[in-house]
Amino acid sequence: MDQLFDVSLFAAALRMVAPILLAALGGAICARVGLFNVGLEGLILIGAFSAILGNYLTGSIAVAILFAMGFSLLFSLLLAYMSINLQANVIIVGIALNFLAAGLTTFALRAIFNVKGAYYDKDMKGLPKLDIPVLKDIPWLGDVLSGQSILVYAAIVIVIVLQFYLFRTVSGFRLLAAGENPVASRSLGLNVKKIQYAAVLISGALCGLAGAQLSLGNVTMFTEGMTNGRGFIALVATMLGQSNPIGVAGASMLFGFMEALSYRLQNFSVPSNITAMLPFVVTIIAMIFFKSSGYKNEAKKSSGSSR
Amino acid sequence: MLLEMDSITKSYGLVRANQNVNFNLRKGEVHALIGENGAGKTTLMRILYGMESPTSGQIKIDGKPVTFHDPTDAIKHKIGMVHQHFMLFPAFSIAENIVIGGEPKKGIVFDRKQAIEQTIALSEQYGMPVDPKKKVADCSLGMQQRVEILKVLYQGAETIILDEPTGVLTPLEVKELLASIKALTAKGKSFIIISHKLSEIMEVSDRITVLRDGVVTGTVNASETNEEQLSRMMVGRELIKLERSEAKIGKPVLELNDVTIVGNKTKPLLEDVQFNVHEGEIVGVAGISGNGQSELLQAISGLMPIDRGTIALQEKNITGASVKMIRESGLAHIPEDRYLWGVSKEATVSDNGIMGHLSRTSKRGMLDGKAIRTLVSGWVERFGIKTGSLHTKAQYLSGGNLQKLIVAREIAQQTPFLIAAEPTRGVDVGAMEIIHGELLKRRDEGAAILLVSSELTEIMKLSDRILVMYEGKVVGELDAATATEEQISLLMAGGKAVGQA
């Protein structure tokens, strides 16, 4: 048991949490304006690929992160335009976006890198790891928390910023209002469309960061479909956390830990096909507890009046 | 003049919703705007609130011409509107709902503490008490309306437009609202009230403007008119006095025995309800809404299971039977919530019309277009349902016209038993006259009718017998011929029965 639950498991868990958490926060902010963003998976994939592309073209980590955010933002703009301006069903647009991302990244992988399946360059640098002074010297805790990639810390900061933004600021209050009752918000002269656009774009940027952590933090390579369902797990984390940043963080931790555990169990001669199911089994169990309460209401609100 | 609307015309294509309408408002006055559904009242007010722009005509405030592009312009000119369907955020607190759009802040931070203080100050200033921290979702409709009015006052409104303000309120809440309106006018606020409840209008307003088919048929002082004159101006003809013949009571059609629904609250939703409805009579159920009337109707129509007791229809035990079986046994149902139970908003007028009439409108599993058209267009004509065509979606009909469609459909079932729940909610006097006439006609044909209404006048006018419900129990049964409004009101409020029939 000691071997199973050792320090490196928890350090790995934190690493695994970051992409799920970043994307789930994006999902949460969309849910808060009444748009249920199922395109997270695709947006992360685009981010992951763009990060590698930026890195490949310039060799700079900063540019890689900007690439990831920029391209995911661009695709989220597509989602926003289709669902807000053209009034297309946001779930369908999200699903379409996922397929688009899968196809496009596979195609670009061949067109740009001239490889099939995966691109890997041993000279490519991953995200820098931060050693946090003082903290790193604390036994156990230091080993878990210190020495993570910058995006892991960014994710934690973003949780706090979002929590503050949504529940303390005037602008956040109006964002919540736009999701709560769009018709009433419009009658007050609030620009609901603008607020919805902002939320979708923020979620795009966050998914870009999630992708960068995936392709440059956890590993330094891109493989086709490397998101492997994380966007959907993030979606569950959004719902489980009731679209509250702190709640979402808690839910993401659970899923990240399960993912780390599933890798670890493979070292204990549990077949990898079985362990790979672990995060998804937990997801299903989580869904049973979550039932239908929140999300259906969210979906209703987006089209609803105050009647 | 505080506000003038000069020869306003609004056309939608060929339809003229308003035609050369003149309307004005003095400071501190209550000016009512009345008319039938579709007469153009709401259109005129939407123009004043900047939600629509007039095709021609001019709005003046304090004598100066103004143009409104959206509600924010109207709000800037101190005009506020409380919509018929409230524009509130159920998950937010009362204080948050009141200050939204003009939140007090410290830097970028929303100062909720100050919002609460401002709400308290405002509610004390105007004598409209609210609990600022309470969630709107937990408030009664009367309280929600108070929040709406405070919100408009917070936005700095001097002129307040109320669109059908009493439609959803209980009689007590209506009294409170009318008192608030009087108190606010004493403080110099001015009101425009859209309504078709003449008694309330007569009580609260100074002047009354009547619209018919988009044209003003007159502006009168409330002190110099009466309800009959107003009805004539609204409908454009004399209203026919309802002739009711002597009830010819036959055998019992619906029999309820000790019907009880326990529910999960401390008090049962329905407790030992026992009564019969006979052929040829209308039994009215009075009560403040939420005292078990909805549960009673759902129990009878099979939408809600009962825990104890029996229900029989046409001498057949229908306790626990399916809705389909109960309907086939002879029940038609004008439901209380037309959008929830009555229609599919997305479906067309003709599709909604044939619901429950499929055996008459289909042959060998295929719909019979000709039969459908004959059936539904017959109703449209007889009830004067205003609809673009039979293929218009139900959601584009006004509430009153939709109600007429439902009433027509259910009466046409020609069943021995009919439930009429709030049959005239939100409909104008002309339509009310038609619906009441049709219900009485069914009674004279020998049908048993159970009427549930929150309008006491409607209960008194139509019923042969009146049951009063209070906290899930039938607390009184009165003969409609001798019952007085005071007697019923007392029972509705939970008082002891005096002089039971």
For residue A191, give both structure tokens: 């620009």
Of chain B, the end-to-end C-alpha distance in Å amounts to 55
Closest in B70, B86, B108 to A170, CB measured: B108
On whether ipTM exceeds 0.90, the answer is: no
Q: Which residue has the higher pLDDT, A66 or B263?
A: A66
Cβ contact, residue pair A180, B90, below 8 Å: yes
Nearest CA in chain A to B168: A307
What pLDDT does A106 receive? 94
SS3 call for B461: helix
Cβ contact, residue pair A181, B70, below 8 Å: no
In 3D space, the residue among A10, A13, A12, A35 whose CA is nearest the CA of residue A182 turns out to be A35
What pLDDT does B37 receive? 74
From the CA of B85, how many Å to the nearest CA of chain A?
6
Angle, CA B283 vertex, CA B282 and CA B288 arms, to 5°: 130
- Mean residue pLDDT across chain B: 89
What pLDDT does B316 receive? 92
SS3 call for A131: coil
List phi, psi (to 5°) of B197.
Answer: -95, 100
Cβ contact, residue pair B87, A187, below 8 Å: yes
User: Which chain B positions have a beta carbon within 8 Å of A187's beta carbon?
Assistant: 71, 83, 87
Between CA B59 and CA B280 the distance in angstroms is 55
Cβ contact, residue pair A184, B87, below 8 Å: yes
For strands B190-195 and B30-34, give the pairing. parallel
What pLDDT does B291 receive? 87
pLDDT for residue B17 is more than 80: yes
Share of chain B above pLDDT 90, in %: 62
Q: What is the pLDDT of residues B172-222, one digit of tens each?
A: 788 889 999 999 999 999 999 998 788 889 999 999 999 988 899 999 999
Indicate the residue type of B229. Answer: Q
Between CA A237 and CA A249 the distance in angstroms is 8
pLDDT for residue A297 is more than 60: no
Mean pLDDT of A211-236: 91
Q: Hey, is the C-beta of A306 within 8 angstroms of any chain B C-beta?
A: yes
On whether residue A269 sits in a domain, the answer given is yes
What pLDDT does B239 receive? 67
SS3 call for B158: coil
What pLDDT does A298 receive? 45
Mean pLDDT of B362-372: 90
What pLDDT does B80 receive? 93
Nearest CA in chain A to B81: A187
Domain total for chain A? 1
Q: Residue A219 sits in a domain of what CATH number?
A: 1.10.3470
From the CA of B333, how many Å to the nearest CA of chain A?
23
Q: Band of the pLDDT at B85, cuts 50, 70, 90?
A: confident
Across the A:B interface, residue pairs with CB atoms under 8 Å apart total: 55
Closest in B70, B88, B96 to A189, CB measured: B70
The C-alpha torsion from B336 through B341 and B345 to B351, rounded to 10°, is -110
On whether residue A260 sits in a domain, the answer given is yes
From the CA of A241, how many Å to the nearest CA of chain B?
17
pLDDT for residue A48 is more than 60: yes
With contact defined as beta carbons under 8 Å apart, do B400 and B37 qualify? yes
Share of chain A above pLDDT 70, in %: 93
Of chain A, the end-to-end C-alpha distance in Å amounts to 57
SS3 call for A21: helix
What pLDDT does A27 receive? 96
On whether residue A98 sits in a domain, the answer given is yes
Q: Hey, is the C-beta of A174 within 8 angstroms of any chain B C-beta?
A: yes
User: Which chain B positions have a beta carbon within 8 Å of A184's beta carbon?
Assistant: 86-89
With contact defined as beta carbons under 8 Å apart, do A135 and A241 qualify? no
Say which range, A154-168, B108-122, B392-406, B437-451, has the weakest mean pLDDT: B392-406
Angle, CA B452 vertex, CA B447 and CA B455 arms, to 5°: 125
CA distances from A50 to A79, A101, B98 (A): 18, 11, 46
Cβ contact, residue pair A189, B101, below 8 Å: yes
What pLDDT does A299 receive? 44
The single residue listed with the structure tokens 């609004």 is B10
On whether residue A2 sits in a domain, the answer given is no
Cβ contact, residue pair A184, B89, below 8 Å: yes
Say which range, A207-216, A277-286, B333-342, B384-393, has the weakest mean pLDDT: A277-286
On whether residue A307 sits in a domain, the answer given is no
Q: Band of the pLDDT at A165, cuts 50, 70, 90?
A: very high
Phi and psi based region of residue B236 (left: phi greater than 0; alpha: psi -120 to 50; beta: remaining): left
On whether residue A132 sits in a domain, the answer given is yes
Closest in A172, A177, A305 to B89, CB measured: A177
Indicate the residue type of B141. Answer: L
From the CA of A243, how many Å to the nearest CA of chain B?
14
Cβ contact, residue pair A187, B83, below 8 Å: yes
What pLDDT does A291 receive? 59
What pLDDT does A185 receive? 92
pLDDT for residue A307 is more than 80: no
From the CA of B101, how many Å to the nearest CA of chain A?
6
From the CA of A163, how many Å to the nearest CA of chain B?
13
pLDDT for residue B384 is more than 60: yes
What distance lies between CA B160 and its chain's CA centroid? 21
Cβ contact, residue pair B339, A170, below 8 Å: no
SS3 call for B296: helix
Backbone CA torsion sign across A87, A89, A92, A97: positive
Q: What is the pLDDT of residues A129-145, one digit of tens each?
A: 888 887 788 888 788 88
SS3 call for B213: coil
On whether residue A306 sits in a domain, the answer given is no
Q: Which domain holds residue A281?
A: 7-301
What pLDDT does B409 receive? 95
User: Which chain A positions have a beta carbon within 8 Å of B109's beta carbon?
Assistant: 168-170
Q: Band of the pLDDT at A290, cuts 50, 70, 90?
A: low
Q: Band of the pLDDT at A260, cuts 50, 70, 90?
A: confident
Nearest CA in chain A to B155: A188
What structural domains does chain B harbor? 3-235 (3.40.50.300), 252-344+416-492 (3.40.50.300)
Mean pLDDT of A217-233: 90
From the CA of A265, how many Å to the nearest CA of chain B?
44
In 3D space, the residue among B92, A232, A199 whose CA is nearest the CA of residue A240 turns out to be A232
What pLDDT does B501 receive? 40
Mean pLDDT of B299-323: 93
Q: What is the pLDDT of residues A239-249, one digit of tens each?
A: 888 899 999 99
On whether residue A230 sits in a domain, the answer given is yes
Taking each helix axis from N to C end, the angle separating A61-80 and A40-58, rounded to the nearest 10 degrees, works out to 150
Mean pLDDT of A172-200: 93
Interface test with A, best of B75, B105, B110 (most A CBs within 10 A): B110
Query: Is the entire prediction scored with pTM above 0.90?
Result: no
Between CA B49 and CA B69 the distance in angstroms is 9
Q: What share of chain B is helix, strand, coil (3-state, %, to 5)?
A: 35, 25, 40
Mark out chain B residues that contact chain A at CB-CB < 8 A.
Answer: 70-72, 75, 83, 85-92, 96, 100-101, 103, 105, 108-110, 339
The residues facing A148 across adjacent strands are A130
Cβ contact, residue pair B88, A181, below 8 Å: yes
Q: Hey, is the C-beta of A161 within 8 angstroms of any chain B C-beta?
A: no
What pLDDT does A296 receive? 45
Mean pLDDT of B411-426: 91
With contact defined as beta carbons under 8 Å apart, do B411 and B444 qualify? no
Closest in B72, B83, B109 to A168, CB measured: B109
Between CA A212 and CA A39 the distance in angstroms is 17
